[in-house]
Structure 1
Amino acid sequence: MKQLIDSLMGRKRVLIDETERAVWLYKGEVRGILGAGEHVLKNRDGSLRIERQPLARMMFASAYEQAVLDKLPADVATHLTVVRTAENEIAVIERDGIINTILGPDAKLIVWSDAGPWKASLVDIVDNVRVEPKLLQRLQKTDRMQFVTVVEVGEGKTALVSIDGRMTDRLEPGVYGYWNPGRKIGVKLVDLTRQSLDVTGQEMLTRDRVTLRINISAEYRVADPLLAVTSVKDFADALYRALQLAFRKTLGALTLDQILENKVTVDAGAADKVRADMALIGVEVSDIALKDVILPGEMREILNQVVAVQKEAEANVIRRREETNATRSLLNTAKVMAENPVMLRLKELEALESIAGKVERLTVLGGTEGLLNDLVRLRD
Structure 2
Amino acid sequence: MLKRLIDLLMGRRRVLINEDERAVWLYKGEVRGILGSGEHVLPNWDGSLQVDVCKLVQPMFVSTYAQALLEKLPEDAARHLTVVRTGENEIAVIERDGMLHTVLAPDTKVILWTDAGPWKTRLVDIGEAAQVDPKLLRRLQRAGKGQLVSQFEVEDGKVGLLIMDGVLAGELQAGVYGYWNPGRKVTVRQVDLKRQSLDVSGQEILTRDRVTLRVNIAAEYRVADPLKAVTSVKDYADALYRALQYAFRKTLGALTLDQILEQKITVDAEAAEKVRADMEAIGLEVSEIALKDVILPGDMREILNQVVSAQKEAEANVIRRREETNATRSLLNTAKVMAENPVMLRLKELEALESIAGKVDKLTVLNGTSGLMNDLVKLTG
Q: What TM-score does the superposition give when structure 1 sets the normalisation length?
A: 0.94
Determine the structure 1 residue equivalent to 2:9. 8
- Contact kept, 8 Å, 1:364 with 1:371, in 2: the verdict is no
For 1:85 and 1:189, how far apart are their aligned partners in 2? Answer: 34
**Structure 1, unaligned runs of 5 or more:** none
RMSD over equivalenced CA pairs, Å: 2.1
- Alignment-mate amino acid for residue 214 of structure 2: R
C-alpha distance in 1 between matches for 2:374 and 2:359: 20
Q: Against the structure 1 CA distance between its residues 140 and 375, is the aligned structure 2 distance closer, same or farther, given a 3 Å change threshold?
A: farther
Structure-to-structure mapping, 1:1-380, within 5 angstroms:
1-359=2-360, 361-362=361-362, 369-370=369-370, 372=372
Distance 2:153 2:371 in 1: 105
- Local SS of the residue matching 1:102: strand
Q: Secondary structure at the match of 1:57?
A: coil
- Is the CA contact (8 Å cut-off) linking 1:365 and 1:371 kept in structure 2? no
Residue correspondences, number: 375
- 2:194 is paired with a residue whose SS is coil
Contact 2:343 2:375 in 1 (8 A): no
Whole-Å Cα distance in 1 between the matches of residues 308 and 180 of structure 2?
71
Change over 3 Å in CA distance of 1:177–1:371 after alignment to 2: farther
CA shift digits 1:14-57 (9 cap, x unpaired): 11112221111111111111111111112111111111221111
2:379 maps to none
Secondary structure, counterpart of 2:308 in structure 1: helix
Amino acid at match of 2:325: T
Distance 1:354 1:16 in 2: 137
Matches of 1:374 and 1:44, distance apart in 2:
173
**Structure 2 CA distance for partners of 1:352 and 1:138, relative to 1, 3 Å:** same
- The separation in 1 between residues aligned to 2:199 and 2:375, in whole angstroms, is 79
Partner SS state of residue 358, structure 1: coil
> % of aligned pairs identical?
72
Letter in 2 for 1:341: P
Q: Distance in 2 between matches of 1:104 and 1:366?
A: 130
**In the alignment, residue 208 of structure 1 is paired with which amino acid?**
D
Contact 2:220 2:286 survives alignment (8 Å): yes
In 2, distance between residues paired with 1:342 and 1:34? Answer: 149
Which letter maps to 2:19?
Answer: E
Distance 2:182 2:347 in 1: 112
> Alignment partner of 1:86: what SS?
coil
Code of the aligned partner of 1:316? N
SS at match of 1:24: strand
Structure 1 residues 257 and 298: alpha-carbon distance in aligned structure 2, compared to 1, 3 A threshold: same
Q: Is the 8 A contact 2:346 2:372 kept in 1?
A: no
Asked whether the equivalents of residues 21 and 52 of structure 1 are also in contact (C-alpha less than 8 Å), the reply is yes
User: Matched residue of 2:358: which SS?
Assistant: helix
Query: How many Å separate the matches in 1 of 2:60 and 2:375?
Result: 135
Q: How much has 1:303 moved relative to structure 2? A: 1.7
Comparing 195-204 with 341-350, which one deviates more in the overlay? 341-350
CA gap of 1:271–1:78, structure 2 versus 1, over 3 A, is same
In structure 2, C-alpha distance between the alignment counterparts of 1:203 and 1:363, rounded to whole Å: 76
Change in Cα spacing, 1:27 to 1:371, as seen in structure 2 (3 Å) is farther
- Any idea what SS the aligned residue of 1:284 has? strand
State the alpha-carbon separation in 2 of the partners of residues 365 and 227 from structure 1: 101
- CA deviation digits over 1:103-137, x for unaligned, max 9? 11111111111111111101111221111111111
Write out per-residue CA displacement over residues 167-209 of structure 1, whole angstroms, 9 at most, x where no aligned residue: 1121111111111110010211011111111111111111111
Superposition TM-score, scaled by structure 2 size: 0.94
- String of CA shifts for 1:224-254, please: whole Å, max 9, x gaps: 1111111111111111111111111111111
Tell whether the 8 Å contact from 1:216 to 1:291 is kept in structure 2 after alignment.
yes
> Contact 2:357–2:363 (CA<8 Å) still a contact in 1?
no
Q: Which deviates more, 347-356 or 132-141?
A: 347-356
Change (3 A) 1:68 1:375: farther
1:10 touches 1:43 (CA, 8 Å); kept in 2? yes
Distance apart, 1:317 and its partner CA: 2.1
- Report deviation, 1:266: 0.6
Distance 1:244 1:199, change over 3 A: same
| Closer, same or farther: CA 108–68 of 1 in aligned 2, 3 Å | same
Can you list the C-alpha shifts for 1:252-310, whole angstroms capped at 9, x where unaligned?
11111111111111111101111110000110000111111111112212222222222
Matches of 2:240 and 2:112, distance apart in 1 = 59
Secondary structure of 1:137's aligned partner: helix
The amino acid across from 1:53 in the alignment is C
* Conservation of the 8 A alpha-carbon contact between 1:200 and 1:216: yes
User: Shift of the alpha carbon at 1:100?
Assistant: 0.8
1:49-71 deviations in whole A, cap 9, x for unaligned? 11122111111111112111111
